[in-house]
Structure 1
Amino acid sequence: MSFSIQTNVSSMVAQENLRVNNLFQARTIQRLTSGYRINSAGDDAAGLAVANKFRSDVAELSQGVRNANDAVSQLQIMDGGLSNISQLLDRARTLATQSASDSFTGDRSALDGEFQNVLTEINRQAQSIGMTAGGDFAKSLGIFIGGGRTDSSSTTKNVNGTVTVNLSSSLADSTSLGLSSNGVQGVVVTAGSANLSSAITAAGTDAIFRFRGAGFNTTVNFATNFDATHIKNETDLVNAVNSAISTAAQSDANFAAANIRASVDSASGKLTFTSAGAFSVSDAGAGTGAAEVLLGDTAPHNAALASVALAAAAVTTNKDVLTISYRDSSGTLQQHSLDLTTVNAGSANAIRDAINGDTTFTGYGIFAVNNAGTITIMKKDGGAFEVATNLTGAGAAGGFTDGVYGSSSTPLGNSAAVDITTSAKALSTITALQTAVTNLSRIQATVGRAENQLSYATNLAQSQISNFSAAQSQIRDADVAAEAANLTKAQVLQQASMAAMAQANSAPQAVLALLRG
């Protein structure tokens, strides 16, 4: 073994070990003071990437829970408002029952005055909680909570992170509940000019009705499946049709929610369908031949309906313009024209598509359907509108009928309300109120179901927050007990390294003993 003064290898080794021990001690102190095992990407790049995903998920879910809580709070406000409306319906029914009795000798107009005030208050409260046509919450609401995640090769996508609450059919104003036009919300579907009961009996075959719901976007086709030859009176007819509707509703929840019921007008003998919301119906049975019309209107006759029997030459020149006037949600009168000169002449589907493709019309709920070559223009909310045309080649039997639709004698956009000014009207109103209570119960059930749905979603989100946080902690957080032991170890190693380096630095002095003589 040689001795060297120029290079002290032992000292160099001691210095390197002291540096390493100092770094170890510094990292241990950083972990203890921060609480994290990973303080930089260099500590554990792969672990940091995974932990960051979990941390981001927790942040998203935490806000999602707040979103859900806000939605539940709003639903609770709506729930409370619906409870108040339920009490108002109770008061309205009490007044109607009092007026319906022939033994009542007081002033029915006074009863009707309070009754109308009750309807006004129902409308005000429904608008206050946003549950009227065009209201803030009378639509399908998407509450984003998050937590739905699936990993692909390079990205992370949110899947099923939104809870959908559909309140588009949950309108709580008096008209939507069925308290207008003495409970008959819809135009009549009639077999030509004849009594429908007689028409079906004469046909000697099943009647087939086709319903389309604007609120539930579901088409239900079914046959009534009753022997028309055994329909002896209007009561038998209504019972048979309603039985068929109930049978069809068992296999279609959306159709069932529409709560469509049939009745026969005692004066005209015509079959009428009622519902809480707007929908369309056509009959395809042999011998009936009624055209498709929109129900949900507030007038008693063919309001909200304008028809044109299209001929091949009905749309031919640059003067072919369809103009419709209507009132918007603020009550302002609007007018919009559609140029039909570019539409395929004589094509009912082309006319229908042109009208339905116009965003201005569809934005205000105006649309068209084609029923065997006849175009029917309708307004979803049953409100009034006016049709004006300048169609060449459209004679008395072949053009749009100009005029106001959706209202009989009231101004554009208004509707007739129920009243209890006579005993007969009060009895009819009681029937309407029974329907209104049923409709309101359905709306309350929808709101309650939404509250529960959000509660379930919140529970899942809270569970995910806990589990994601635990996973992140497992990866990123420091083990304090282990790091405390490491700190003691680092301190001992540092002291030993400094003592050993002192010995290594003094080792070359031993060579001087060889130089002493």
Structure 2
Amino acid sequence: MIINHNLAANNAIRFMNSNSANASKSMQKLSSGLRINSASDDAAGLAISEKMRGQIRGLDQASSNSQDAISLIGTAEGALNETHSILQRMRELSVQAATDTNTATDRSEIQKEVTQLTSEIDRIANTTEFNTKKLLTGSIGVSTTDGANITQLASTADTKAGTLSFTANGTMAKAASGDLVLTAGVTTASAAGTLNITANGKTYNVGFSAGQSMTDIAKNISSVVDGYTATFDAANHKISFTSNVADADQTLTVAEATATTLDGTIDLSSIAANGIDTANAVNGVKSANASGLVSAGSTFSYQGNEVTVTSGNFTGLKFTLAADAGSTTTASVSGKSITVNQSLTFQIGANKDQNLSLAINAMDSQNLGVSAIDVTTQSGANNAIELVNNAIESVSSERSKLGAYQNRLEHTIANLGTSSENLTSSESRIRDVDMAKEMSAFSKNNILAQAAQAMLAQANQQPQQVLQLLR
């Protein structure tokens, strides 16, 4: 029996302190509702939880950003709705002025309204803003200095900001065509055979049976040969071929595999004599005549008078060249420019580079090609109809694009909400405390602390027994 060291009391004190500390931690968790209140509670869990919290808050903010983007797009689209209405009225006035039941005075009065409507298109384009950002001036899209001759401007995410000055002068591409001329009155194949067709470098063999109608043969050709449509013209006794696109260097050759099988009278096996040989049938806007595009280090393709830049800083830029006055075959633009401005970038995700780019092209009268409309003459009013039609198409294209972006962003918001909800659920399982379980632990630790305190009192009474030995 010793008195200097009360080991039982020390043991009771140790357990009492431990149980009291555990009860205190349980009380802290119950008070905050969190399982992790400091790094010491769960170091790894804290790191994971904080990373998840960053993602959750980023997702919630991205959802808010997307809502703001929809509002911006809605502002632009709403303004273009009014531009559409104005252009429809201008078209109506152009049609009205194009008839010679009007006098010069009548057309002059019509021109007054057209002029005011044009000014209103410019006002809408120059003053439509969202959070002081101008939306329809081309400052966040594409604009040109020659809206009369350069139309249907568009760019992609690959198109870098800058100004492209160029001169273009060429022949608009036309559809390649050719006729396989038959004997008058022949409407069916005379014998079974095959047509050997080479279209744009690809070879096709189209078979036919004896007595098969030329109309059916033409339909078979159209379904088999890529890029070409064939029709049978009974009145002019020929099968006519036409390319489906107007593009540069379309080629087509057609001939019988065996002579006089298609037409029992005419030998169509020789291309030089009677078959079709349409090589390099069309031209386009040649690179040699587009000095600015070439000097800018760009290559481009064309279909008809529609030009698409395929390499260089302006990759993805697309525009249409208007025909020369009174011509349907040539297009020329001299010393004009297209300016590509930096598009808007919407952050629609929680992490780097999770964004969406939006460009809105210039929608003023100059870029829509209606700034110089003059309906004071019949010819001017007649031309105005086409110009306004083109402008309506440009606005329609822009509004369709904006509507598509709005729909996309609505899906983005729904996805962000789902992701945030699921990530919050995961973070909660790591960070939040199970109240029922922790209350049980608190009760246990509290009881153990009280028990240890009682045992300490008992241990402190043990040295009193020494006094009995000293009496």
TM range (shorter): 0.5 to 0.7
The answer as to whether partners of 2:66 and 2:409 remain within 8 angstroms in 1 is: yes
Give the gaps of 5 or more residues in structure 2: 129-133, 154-167, 182-196, 201-224, 252-278, 299-306, 312-316, 322-332, 338-366
Instruction: Give the TM-score normalised by the residue count of structure 2.
Output: 0.57
The answer as to whether partners of 1:97 and 1:430 remain within 8 angstroms in 2 is: yes
The answer as to whether partners of 1:201 and 1:228 remain within 8 angstroms in 2 is: no
Partner of 1:16: 14
Alignment of 1:70-85 (within 5 A): 70-85=68-83
Higher relative contact order (CA 8 A, sep 6+): 2
1:127-157 superposed Cα distances (whole Å, 9 cap, x missing partner): 4445657422x27xxxxxxxxxxxxxxxxxx
Partner of 1:86: 84
The answer as to whether partners of 2:171 and 2:283 remain within 8 angstroms in 1 is: yes
Alignment match of 2:43 (pick from 26, 38, 45): 45
Instruction: Give the TM-score normalised by the residue count of structure 1.
Output: 0.53
Equivalent-residue separation in structure 2 for 1:418 and 1:207 (angstroms): 43
- CA 1:440 to 1:404, structure 2 compared with 1: closer, same or farther past 3 Å? closer
Q: What letter corresponds to residue 503 of structure 1 in structure 2?
A: Q
Higher mean displacement: 420-429 or 467-476: 420-429
Matched, 1:116 2:119: no
1:515 to partner: Cα distance: 1.8
1:322-347 superposed Cα distances (whole Å, 9 cap, x missing partner): xx8xxxxxxxxxxxxxxxxxxxxxxx
Equivalent-residue separation in structure 2 for 1:500 and 1:226 (angstroms): 103
- CA 1:430 to 1:206, structure 2 compared with 1: closer, same or farther past 3 Å? farther
Alignment match of 2:437 (pick from 482, 485, 495): 482
How many aligned residue pairs are there? 328
Partner of 2:414: 459
Partner of 2:470: 515
Alignment match of 1:34 (pick from 32, 35, 42): 32
- CA 1:292 to 1:306, structure 2 compared with 1: closer, same or farther past 3 Å? closer
The answer as to whether partners of 1:283 and 1:292 remain within 8 angstroms in 2 is: no
1:379-437 superposed Cα distances (whole Å, 9 cap, x missing partner): 97789xxxxxxxxxxxxxxxxxxx95449xxxxx9987333222233233223333433
Equivalent-residue separation in structure 2 for 1:53 and 1:367 (angstroms): 45
Structure showing greater Rg: 2
1:506 to partner: Cα distance: 1.6
Equivalent-residue separation in structure 2 for 1:512 and 1:114 (angstroms): 121
Q: What letter corresponds to residue 453 of structure 1 in structure 2?
A: R
The answer as to whether partners of 1:51 and 1:475 remain within 8 angstroms in 2 is: yes
SS at match of 2:171: coil
Equivalent-residue separation in structure 2 for 1:290 and 1:207 (angstroms): 17
1:496 to partner: Cα distance: 2.1
- CA 1:284 to 1:133, structure 2 compared with 1: closer, same or farther past 3 Å? farther
Partner of 1:126: 125
Matched, 1:290 2:291: no
The answer as to whether partners of 1:206 and 1:227 remain within 8 angstroms in 2 is: no
Partner of 2:228: 225
Matched, 1:429 2:384: yes
Equivalent-residue separation in structure 2 for 1:369 and 1:464 (angstroms): 38
The answer as to whether partners of 1:37 and 1:477 remain within 8 angstroms in 2 is: yes
1:63-119 superposed Cα distances (whole Å, 9 cap, x missing partner): 111111111110110110111111111211121121122222343133223213323
Partner of 2:139: 135
Equivalent-residue separation in structure 1 for 2:127 and 2:148 (angstroms): 10
SS at match of 1:107: helix
Alignment of 1:351-370 (within 5 A): 352=294, 355-356=296-297
1:450 to partner: Cα distance: 0.8
Partner of 1:189: 171
Equivalent-residue separation in structure 2 for 1:460 and 1:419 (angstroms): 51
The answer as to whether partners of 1:206 and 1:228 remain within 8 angstroms in 2 is: no
Equivalent-residue separation in structure 1 for 2:172 and 2:148 (angstroms): 29
Alignment match of 1:446 (pick from 397, 401, 405): 401
Equivalent-residue separation in structure 1 for 2:172 and 2:152 (angstroms): 24
The answer as to whether partners of 2:249 and 2:280 remain within 8 angstroms in 1 is: no
Equivalent-residue separation in structure 2 for 1:49 and 1:417 (angstroms): 65
Q: What letter corresponds to residue 228 of structure 2 in structure 1?
A: N
1:8-61 superposed Cα distances (whole Å, 9 cap, x missing partner): 111111011111011112101211222210112221223223222221110110
- CA 1:68 to 1:82, structure 2 compared with 1: closer, same or farther past 3 Å? same
SS at match of 2:460: helix
Q: What percent of counterpart residues are identical?
A: 29
Equivalent-residue separation in structure 2 for 1:83 and 1:123 (angstroms): 14
